[in-house]
C-alpha cells in the first residue's frame, strides 16, 4: 500500500515538470539556463561541472540569455555540444529561481 501511494506521488510530480526526451527515449526535466545553479546545470547530460560554472559566470557577467542558442557564446560550448544538450534546456518562466548571491553592500 505504501509503495502504491509513493508511486502515485511520483507520477503526479513527474506530470507537472517540464520534460525533454533524449535521443535514446529517456526523459529528464528541463533546466532553465537563466535561473539554474551550477549544480543544476552540471546535472544536464553532456555539460559537467566546468561548463556549468562557465554558464553561470557568463550569465553573471552578461545578464540573462535571450535564447538557448546564445550558449555558444560561453567558452567551451560549441554547436555540437549545444545540439546535444538543447533538449534538456529551457528559458521558460516558472522554473525555480537560483538562490541570490550574498550581498557585499553594507547597510
**What CATH code is carried by the domain that includes residue 36?**
1.10.150.280
Q: Mean pLDDT in the chain? A: 76
Region 75-89: mean pLDDT is 95
Region 20-45: mean pLDDT is 78
DSSP assignment, residue 42?
H
Residue 16 lies in a domain: no
For residue 63, give the C-alpha cell.
545578464
**Sign of torsion, CA 33 34 40 41?**
positive
Residue 46 lies in a domain: yes
Residue 15 lies in a domain: no
Which value, to the nearest 10 degrees, does the dihedral of the CA atoms of residues 1, 17, 40, 21 take?
Answer: 100
Q: Give the integer Cα–Cα distance in Å for 104 and 75.
A: 28
Region 51-78: mean pLDDT is 96
Tell me the whole-structure pTM to 2 decimals. 0.62
Residue 101 lies in a domain: no
Residue 105 lies in a domain: no
Domain carrying residue 57? 27-95
In total, how many domains does the chain have? 1
Amino acid at each position: 500500500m505504501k509503495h502504491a501511494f509513493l508511486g502515485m506521488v511520483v507520477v503526479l510530480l513527474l506530470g507537472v515538470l517540464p520534460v525533454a526526451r533524449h535521443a535514446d527515449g529517456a526523459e529528464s526535466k528541463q533546466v532553465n539556463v537563466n535561473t539554474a545553479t551550477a549544480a543544476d546545470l552540471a546535472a544536464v547530460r553532456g555539460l559537467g561541472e566546468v561548463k556549468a560554472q562557465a554558464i553561470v559566470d557568463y550569465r553573471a557577467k552578461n545578464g540573462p540569455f535571450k535564447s538557448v542558442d546564445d550558449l555558444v557564446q560561453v567558452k567551451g560550448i560549441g554547436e555540437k555540444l549545444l545540439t546535444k544538450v538543447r533538449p534538456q534546456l529551457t528559458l521558460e518562466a516558472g522554473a525555480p529561481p537560483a538562490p541570490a548571491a550574498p550581498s557585499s553592500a553594507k547597510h
